[in-house]
Structure formats: structure tokens, C-alpha cells
Structure 1
Amino acid sequence: MDIATEANRSLQGLSTELTARVPRLLEAMRSVGNGLELRTTLDRIAETAAELADAEYAAIGVIDAEGQGLSEFITYGVSEEQQALIGGLPDGRRGLLGALIRRPETVILADLTADPRYAGFPPNHPPMHTFLGVPIKVQGETFGNLYLAEKRGGGLFSDADLNMVRVLATEAGIAIGNARVYEEGRQRMRWIDGSVAVTTALLSGSDAEDALVVVAEQARRLADSAAGIVLLPDNEGGLEMVAVSADNAAGLLGTVIPPHSPVVSQLLAGEPVYVDDSATDERMITDAAPLFGPSMLLPLKNGDRVLGTLATPRSRGDRKFTDTERTLAAQFAAQAALALVLADAQRDRERLAVYEDRDRIARDLHDLVIQRLFATGLMLESAQRKAIVPDVQVKVGQAVDELDVTIQEIRTAIFALQQGPAEAPAGLRTRVLREIGTAAVPLGFQPSASFVGPVDAKVGELTGKNLIAALREALSNAFRHAEASRIEVVVDATAKLPDGRDGVRLTVADDGIGIPEGGRRSGLKNLAKRAESLGGSSTYGPGLGEDGGGSRVVWEAPL
């Protein structure tokens, strides 16, 4: 028999075998095509391949996004009990499976254990010898491999088996490709929704700190990371963690990446940094680095301006970030930076509107209200001089004094309205009023307060703290010893000290019983010591009572 005749008979036999299997293959394909979920579809493909090729075992290895190992390994023929005894599924980084990932090709083996690429089976693994491996490819892109093992009835897997498995491998490739496209679409929608959520939250009026926390929380959720961290440049040139979304947020807040860290210059230059393992990467030199594994550090950049950095570290041992995740996260960081800039501009506009309104009110108070009160005072003084009845003169004089006090309080309010944004809410003025409000409860009445000059703007933090302590001591003494019904507190930021320096003067005067000999001395000494430690002084004298009764404490220190 010549070679041509033998080849023809072989082809006819192969054709007959394929023809016999086509109905079963088409039926199996229709069944496979009904699967909408990737894992279910791959399970069906593995089962179908094993049944049509008369193989005892089948498996599908799906290559991970980096192309270095397996992200999934679907098996058929190995029971759950056997899988539990075997332990972990192969990662595809060594042995024959690893070789087929690095170099996808069709392989038919009579005994896979004799192949030089074979690296051994783990304990309790079922014995396998005959082997068929087919790459899963679609349009030139490799998604994984379809494996069959242990041909029933003995013998090698045939060419008919190979051709049929190739068809199923193509179906698997289409399913994996569609699943990845679908998942990437879902990822993009999640990141877009997250960007919208951040923009909405920031533009809805959140303050700066809340805005950064929103960015950290959304980044953590979208990146599926262990933490979301926003870092801002500090005064030393490093990056400080100012907003953290994590299980241990308190332990991370305030952590600083020092300026000599290799990543700082790169981030401040607007370049992202990707780390495979924070715990072992020499560039990550903070105490927090050993807590995390793969990390993305993305500059919050708007134009040429770098606002800070967004970090999304995953736990140790977690999967690395894919190229798609890196791209989406970088786009999110850019959108978040733009939203932060817009939110900051919006807050500036709102603050500007408030300060313009405050400035208008201050002008109206100064130009209209004070002038009218001043004119009314002059009219009352004129009436007082012309009054014949002494009681009327006294009453009119008291009214003039009250107008003077009112004018002074309005001027104090004008100074408060003219304060800048950095000076306003928690300044010295607010703390003085808080102390007076606290003292009003035990006193049974509200002491009056007036301020001269821009108190919040001029008085330094150290002097301000000591002034509050001195005020607390003076009010405490008045409550315990003075038996007063009236107390006046004045804080003057335009005072001149005896040596000519600019200073602040605190005056606390009451109409009580005065300071008896030997009484209240310890409190007065404390006041004097506080003032002298700052280069100032503290004195006392007559107060608000008739004929100089009561007491007056004057405490002053440099600004």
C-alpha cells in the first residue's frame, strides 16, 4: 500500500470520527452558549470537552491581567474532597502550566510526567499521564489554556479530539474576552460614578477637611484597597497624611513621608508611583509601609499645580493593580483634583460674599448708627447742662454714659466684622466671650465685655493663652470674694506698655467689696507672675463702686 493511499484512509477515518461527533459538539455549544456568567460558562466548557474527548479530567486556566500567572483555574473530574486534600490550586508560574502560559502552544503527550517541563504533582493529586493542552486565543490574544488529561480506554488524544477541543477553546476565549470587556465596562462606570459622587459632595458646600475625607473614602471603595489616603505637602517639603479612610485611620493620620523619600520628588513633580509591595520596596520608608502590599500613589494634579497625593494601598498578599485600574485611578485623581479646585473656588466666592456683606454692615454701623448715637449723646449732654432738677441731671448723665458704652460695643462689633477669614472663628475674642459666659452661671449675672482694636489679629497665641488664664483667675476671684453685682471686662489691643512697647491690656473691674488687706493675695500673685513671665505686669486698684468701691485688676503683656 502506497503512502498516498494510507494518508487518504487516515483522513477518511478522521473525517468520519469528526462527522460523528459534530451533532454532539453542536448540542454542547448551544448549551455552553446559554451561560451568561463566566464561571458557569467555563465549567460547562470544561465538562463538555472532557465528555466529547473521553477524558477523565479537564481544566481551564485563565491567565491574569499581567500575563504572569493564573487568575482562575476551573477543573472537571476532581471532586471537592480531592481538591481539599490537594490544597491550593496551581498559580501557573512553574512547571508545564507555567511553560504553556509563557509560550502558548498545542501539546499532546503520552506521559506528561516524562516531559522535561513537568515539575511534579502536589500530595494527594490524582495520577495523570496522557495530556492535551490547547491555547485559548481570540484574534491573536491569549486568554489561557484548555487542558485534558487521562484519555479513557488508553491511547493518545487524537487529532479529532484536538480539533474539537480547539473549537471549545475558541468558545472559552470569546466568553473570557466578553467577560473582561464587561468587567472593564463595569469598572469604568464605577469610577465614573465615584468621580461624580466626589464632585457632587465637594461642590455641595463641604469644608476642606470633609472634602478630602470624601476623596479618600471613594478612592478606597473604587480601588478595592485596604485604605484611601490623601497626603498634602507639609512645611518641611514632605507629604503628610491628612485624610484617611481605613480600619486603622487614627494610626495613619499625621504620618509623614519625609522629603528625602525617593517617591516625594516624583509625586510633587506630578508623576504617579506604582509599588508592587510597600513592605519590601526600598522607596517606601514610612512606619506605615509594612502594613501594605501593592499600592498606587497618584498626584492630585490640576494643570501644572500639584495639590497633593492620593494613595490606595492594598493589604499584603493582595493582587497587584492592573493597567486598567491604574488608568482609571489616575483619571479619578485628576477629576478629584479638579473638583477640589472648583470646591475651593466656590468656597472662596461664598466667603467673599460673606465678607463683602460684613464690610457693608460695618460701614453702616460706623457711618450711620454710631454717628446718630454720638449726636444723641451731644443732645443729652446739652439737655443735662440746662436741666434744673438734680435727679434729672443724674439720670441724663447715666444715659450719656450708657450711650458711650453702646458706642464702644458697636465699635467692637465693627472690628469683629472686619476680621479676615484666618482670624475669625476661634480667635481670642471668642475665647474671652466663652470664659465670660462660663463665669455668668456661678455669678448669677452676665459680665459686660468690650474690645478695643483688632484683638484677634494682633495678640499672639502665647500671650492670648495667658490672657485667658488671667481672665479666668480674675473672674474666679470676683465670684469667690467680691460679692459684686456688676463686672466689666475690657480687652484693649492698642495699649502701650510702660516701656513703650505695643501690648494688650486686660481690665476686669467690679462694684464689690474691694480687696481687703490680706485677702485674694495668692490669686493676684498668680496674675502678676503670668504677666511678668511675658515681660508685662499686673496691678490692682479701685473698681466700679461708688466712691471708688470695688476692685479693678489690670493685666497687660506684649502682643
Structure 2
Amino acid sequence: MSGEGKELERLRRKVKELSSLVEVSTLIASRLDIEPLLQDIVEAATRLIGAELGGLLVLSQDGSRLYDYFKVCGWPFEPAGFPSGRGIYSLPYKTGQPLRVDRVRDHPQSVGFPPGHPFVEAFLGVPLKFKDKILGTLFLGNGPGGRTFTAEDEELLMAFATQASIAIENARLYAKARELARLQERNRIAQELHDTVAQLLFAIGIEADWCLERLPQDSHFYGKLQAIKRLAARATNEVRNAIFALSNAHKEGDLRKALREIVDEFEAMSTIKVGLVLPETIPPLTPRLEEAIRRVVRESLSNVHKHSRAQLVMISLTLDDTRIGVSIQDDGVGLSEESLTRFLKGDGLHFGITSMRRMVEELGGTLTIANNDDGGLMVKAFLPLPQEEVV
């Protein structure tokens, strides 16, 4: 082929690559849900370059763990967990630079592959970067036809990664906006419950009292009115519990203030006294860690109010070098042995308890529930503190 023919062929290939880049960029730009978006990105990148394998790692936003997401394409199985953060997969996001390797096993930072990992000879990885913020790594294994990756492949993948990073950041902003709207709706519902249903139930109780004062106790209707009054009081408590849970779902940023507000609102809606013991200083915590602590306290207080017949609750927050702990102890009737056994077996004692235990365990923590020797119930949660830096 003449020099002119080669140049024409190169231009045709370039036009085809750019057309493909525009096509896949348009596809991912239309996605707003983060999970399907990330899968689309890794599949589109693998097709764009013609690689055998593809993968994508997104760094955690809150520091509670190394990665938030790990997506793959062309692998014979779904990965059982996240990579360790060592080896060449992590280099593009650590250095902020692309990495092209012809023989992975010869690279000085190659640490090998876990059992069952697909064979990777050639590697191409680029950072996912939005402005000055590193979001993660997009990487490919084994070029088209088993060849190594070229400088043109790297350039094309870098261009695609720029578009992908914008799409990821947009999806995150969309998720935050949706969460804010959800919390605002919860607040609105809580306010409406307070202004309408709670007031109506209170009025029913007042009317029942008025009638009871004027009826003889041997009247056929006296017992009926007492039952109505009890049901109204019970419904009022349930509505207050709902308002309490809804209005406390969004407090973030200052754990000390949030816990005091939860306690104040609990005492305002019940006759149970609460003691709150906090350390002098609380280090900055990740949003997920703060939410887990608030959820444990909130759900425990809700259960105390519903079931314990307690007069006093003590909440304590403790800290050491590696973990934070929270305990909620009441002086009520405790739990039956059957209920405790069901909890310890993970049979779902109560949806709220199951939910808070799952959240604690997802963060690497533990949750225990046990009866006190002198009566009442003790709920304890211990969670690891976030590492100071991601390596």
C-alpha cells in the first residue's frame, strides 16, 4: 500500500473511532442511575477498543472503604469482592496517569491474580477524573486479537474516560438531588402527620374524656368509650413514633448535636427520661458511619418507647483508636428468651432491628442485644473508625 493509501486508511480508522466515541458517549450521557451507568461504561469501553476484558473501579466517596463499585465485562464470573488496592489496577487512580503494560507479569508492581481470575497479558488502565478529583480507574485486559495495546488505544480510552467521568459525576449529583427530595418529602409527611392525624387523635381523646365524665359507670356505653380512648392514645403514640422516625432521618454533619436532638424529641413525646453520655471530642466521621450510629440510637429508642415499659434510658458513646461504640440501656422488662434467640439466629426479630444490624455489619461493625442482669435491655454497636487515608 502506498504512503497515500496508508494515510487514507489511518484517517478512515480515526473517523470510525471518533464516531464510536461519540456514539458511546451519547449512550452513557443518557444514564442517571449509577449502577447501570457504570456497567454501560465498562462494556462500552471494552467494545470501543476491542479488548477481551474490561473493568471499572470507583473509589469510595466517604472513606468508609476503599471502593464503592467494581464492574467488569468479559469475565467468566462475577468477582466475589473488591480488589485489595495493591497491584497495577490501582496505579492509574493513585498516580492520576494512564498505564499501558505489554506483559503484566513483568511489571514491578504486579502481585499476581487470585484463583480463577481471567488471564491478562496486556493491560491498559486510565484514571477516571472529574476536574481535579480522581473518581477511580477504567482498565482493559488483552487487546484486539490478543495483541498489546497501542498509543492510539490509550488516547481513545483517555478521551472516553473523560466523558465517562462527567457521566459518573452527573449520576452522583442526581442521586444526591433525589435523596434530598426524598428527605424533604419525609419532612413534609411528618409535618402533615403532626398537624392533621395527631391533632385529630388528640381531639378524639378529649371528646371521649368529656363523654366519660358525664356518663354513669354502669352505662352500656361507658366501656365502649374507654376502649375508644385507649385506642386513640395508642394510635397517637404510633403516629408520634412515625413522626419521630421521619423527622430524624436527615440529621447529618454534627453527631453530638444530632444525638441531642433525637433525645430531646424522644423525651418530648414520651414520659421516659434519657441520659446521654458523650466523649469530650468526637472526630470527623463519614456520613454512613454517622447515619449508622443515629439509626441504632433512633431504632433502639423507638423500641424502648413501644415495648420496654422503662422509666430511664442511658445512651453512651465511646471511642478508642480504632472504633466507635454506642450503647443504649433501659430499665424496662427486657426481651423474652424466644425473641433473643430469634435475633441471635438472624431470624428477623423486628424489621427495624434487622435493618440497623445490617447497616452496622456492612460497615464492618457488630451489633449485640442482651438482657441486663438487673432487668431491661442493652443494645451495643461497635464500628471501625475510617482510615485517615486511602492507599
TM-score category (smaller protein) = 0.5 to 0.7
Q: What is the match of residue 14 of structure 2?
A: 184
TM-score by length of 2: 0.65
CA drift of 1:297 comes to 1.1
Matched residue type, 1:210: P
CA drift of 1:401 comes to 0.8
Q: CA RMSD in A?
A: 4.3
Q: What is the match of residue 377 of structure 2?
A: 556
TM-score by length of 1: 0.47
Q: Deviations over 1:318-361 (max 9, x none)?
A: 21222222111101111111111111111211221221122111
SS of 1:503's equivalent in the other structure is: strand
Question: Which one of 384, 389, 409 corresponds to residue 238 of structure 2?
Answer: 409
What are the within-5 Å matches in structure 2 for residues 149-168 of structure 1?
none
Matched residue type, 1:319: R
Q: What is the match of residue 212 of structure 1?
A: 38
Contact 1:229 1:245 (C-alpha < 8 Å) held by counterparts: yes
CA drift of 1:403 comes to 0.7
CA drift of 1:407 comes to 1.1
Q: What is the match of residue 57 of structure 2?
A: 231
Question: Which one of 188, 192, 196 corresponds to residue 26 of structure 2?
Answer: 196
How many angstroms apart in 1 are the aligned matches of 2:112 and 2:13?
35
CA drift of 1:555 comes to 6.6
Q: What is the match of residue 204 of structure 2?
A: 376
SS of 2:141's equivalent in the other structure is: coil
What are the within-5 Å matches in structure 2 for residues 46-445 of structure 1?
170=2, 173-201=3-31, 203=32, 206=33, 208-233=34-59, 242-251=70-79, 253-258=81-86, 261=87, 264=90, 267-287=93-113, 291-314=119-142, 318-388=146-216, 389-420=218-249
Contact 2:143 2:149 (C-alpha < 8 Å) held by counterparts: no
CA drift of 1:216 comes to 1.5
Percentage of identical aligned residues: 20
Contact 1:496 1:502 (C-alpha < 8 Å) held by counterparts: no
Q: Say whether residues 1:457 and 2:285 are aligned partners.
A: no
Q: Deviations over 1:426-457 (max 9, x none)?
A: xxxxxxxxxxxxxxxxxxxxxxxxxx999993
Contact 2:102 2:148 (C-alpha < 8 Å) held by counterparts: yes
Structure 1 unmatched ranges of 5 or more:
1-168, 424-451, 465-470, 472-488, 510-520, 540-553
How many angstroms apart in 2 are the aligned matches of 1:558 and 1:280?
52
How many angstroms apart in 2 are the aligned matches of 1:287 and 1:239?
18
How many angstroms apart in 2 are the aligned matches of 1:455 and 1:200?
33
CA drift of 1:211 comes to 2.6
Alpha carbons of structure 1 residues 231 and 498: separation in structure 2 relative to 1, 3 Å: closer
CA drift of 1:210 comes to 2.8
Higher relative CO (Cα under 8 Å, sequence separation at least 6) belongs to 2
Asked which structure has the greater CA Rg, the reply is: 1
Could you tell which deviates more after superposition, 359-368 or 283-292?
Answer: 283-292
Matched residue type, 2:171: A
Alpha carbons of structure 1 residues 421 and 215: separation in structure 2 relative to 1, 3 Å: farther
CA drift of 1:191 comes to 1.7
Aligned length: 305
How many angstroms apart in 1 are the aligned matches of 2:309 and 2:294?
9
Matched residue type, 1:365: L
Q: Deviations over 1:529-549 (max 9, x none)?
A: 99xx9584279xxxxxxxxxx
How many angstroms apart in 2 are the aligned matches of 1:193 and 1:390?
80
Matched residue type, 2:371: S
